[in-house]
Structure 1
Amino acid sequence: MNPLTAALEFVDSINNEETADGVARRIADLGQTFGFTSFMLAAIPEQGASLDGSIVLSGGNPEWQQRYLDRDYVQHDPIVATARTASRPFLWSSIARDRSLSTIGQQIFADARNHGIIDGVCVPIHGQQSYQGMLIFAGPEVHLTEREISVLHLVGIYASNKMRELTGSTANRPRHRLTPRELECLKWSAAGKTSWEISQILNISQHTADWYLASAARKLHAANRTHAVAEGFRLGLIR
């Protein structure tokens, strides 16, 4: 399908989605029509705060996301810094070419390339109550027309609004918020499934299943997955 057609179809049909996982699949599928291999929809955290609890949806490259979180790159990421004040979507490459880029900013771009992320597009989202968010698509080298970038702007706004509607999100969203995939893995773990069994059920690698479970445990401040499952029940995330 033509990328523009796919994007406009996304905007027309997103209101029919009733689950966060359904929205995530639509975003991932749309990204693939543009040649992207991963995406992330997130609130922009306050200065000094971790990105971990602000991720709403993500998919495609869990290894890079884990490294990004482990190294707390959000504190120095020029993409996030630009998204705080930008009103229109922008390409990563436009930021990477800036000669005034800090050493750590250059390091973040280099590290991303080492994980297969060459370029991307960031869609800043500004909502009610001073809400700031972003939808990021990433992957190989990007060649987008101005019209395609404008349509992706609409996609970001619609996706963000839909997720806020589904989750009742506000600027003060609980910090233990799990992504749909993390919660799904945690629920299967609560049902007694191993990482390998979860990987087969969800059609993901065992490594990816382990990563989602570890991420869920970290967000719930749990020592291990058993502790995470217990916290999930305590908080009403698992029923």
Structure 2
Amino acid sequence: MMNAALLELFATISDIDAASTSERALKIFEGVLHRFGLHSCLITGFPVPHDSEWHRAILHDGWSREWFMRYESEGHFPHDPCAARSRLSAKPFFWHQLPAGGLTPRGRLVMDEAAEFGMKDGICVPIHVPLAGPAVVTAASDRIDVPPGAMPLIETLCVHLFRKVSGWENRSDRDEGSPLTPRERELLQWSAQGKTNEDISCILGIATHTVESHQRNIRDKLDAINIVHAVVKALRRDEIQI
């Protein structure tokens, strides 16, 4: 990962943490999304698919009023393929990655109508909250420009924002998890410098699967969703520096 991108992410997360209201945090978040062409943002939990009051789980509605009314009046929620995939997978995805051949006719209708309302492509970052069920941060527009390497950064930011606006995480990162071992800090320091697992394996003289094992332990200790998130959390705890 690039140091500049990581430092910008760190600064953005710090700004979100310092925001006095959820509205201010969302403004900061949406400013980042706009750089990638993403505009229509929705943050919501998922009740059971056929719950007619599904909109009670919405934390932030950044959809256009016209699209929201269409989505609700047509009963799209139980048939939304983005919602269905987000329930089952914790991995972020682009809308265009939904398998066209695997969509039901109603699912295809949801996506086609979204495109008519200026949401031709987008991203979904599923959030799986312990004991509280699945949720998602999703954003879209008529044309997006998200480089593949930016997805881990966006995912980290989405999860952090969700925790901020939902009140899921109230403790300081400094108080979370166990301290890292010297070897884990060393490995994470190299990850922060943009080194791949194969690079780190060569630098430290250990097997790649050992690097991956260390990374799993790091993510578990820091309650991180990916290695980028782990780097940010370690920076905030002063366990590593860049």
Q: Which runs of 5+ in 2 are unaligned?
A: 171-242
Tell whether the 8 Å contact from 1:112 to 1:118 is kept in structure 2 after alignment.
Answer: yes
Residue 69 (structure 1) aligns with:
72
SS, match of residue 44 in structure 2: strand
Q: How many residues align?
A: 166
Residue 54 (structure 2) aligns with:
51
Q: Quick one: which of 62, 87, 91 aligns to 2:90?
A: 87
Q: Kindly report which structure 2 residues correspond to 1:1-239, keeping only aligned pairs within 5 A, or say none.
A: 7-49=9-51, 50-59=53-62, 61-95=64-98, 97-165=99-167
- Amino acid in the other structure paired with 1:59: G
**For the pair shown, which has the larger CA radius of gyration, 1 or 2?**
2
1:8 shift after superposition: 4.5
1:141 shift after superposition: 3.0
Quote the Cα distance in structure 2 between the aligned partners of 1:119 and 1:4.
26
Quote the Cα distance in structure 2 between the aligned partners of 1:53 and 1:66.
15
SS, match of residue 30 in structure 1: helix
Q: Which moved more, 1:74-83 or 1:43-52?
A: 43-52
Tell whether the 8 Å contact from 2:127 to 2:137 is kept in structure 1 after alignment.
Answer: yes
TM (norm. structure 1) is 0.63
1:167 shift after superposition: 11
1:33 shift after superposition: 1.2
- Amino acid in the other structure paired with 1:77: D
Deviations 1:144-175 (A, max 9, x none): 2332111111112111110122999xxxxxxx
Q: Which moved more, 1:46-55 or 1:108-117?
A: 46-55
Residue 182 (structure 1) aligns with:
none
- In structure 2, relative to structure 1, the CA distance for the partners of 1:126 and 1:26 (3 Å cut) is same
Tell whether the 8 Å contact from 1:126 to 1:133 is kept in structure 2 after alignment.
Answer: yes
Quote the Cα distance in structure 1 between the aligned partners of 2:69 and 2:8.
29
SS, match of residue 101 in structure 2: coil
Deviations 1:15-65 (A, max 9, x none): 111212112212222221111121011112222114311110122522212
Tell whether the 8 Å contact from 1:3 to 1:34 is kept in structure 2 after alignment.
Answer: no
Quote the Cα distance in structure 2 between the aligned partners of 1:4 and 1:147.
12
Quote the Cα distance in structure 2 between the aligned partners of 1:89 and 1:54.
20
Quote the Cα distance in structure 2 between the aligned partners of 1:91 and 1:135.
12
TM (norm. structure 2) is 0.62
Tell whether the 8 Å contact from 2:59 to 2:166 is kept in structure 1 after alignment.
Answer: no
- In structure 2, relative to structure 1, the CA distance for the partners of 1:74 and 1:5 (3 Å cut) is farther
1:6 shift after superposition: 5.6
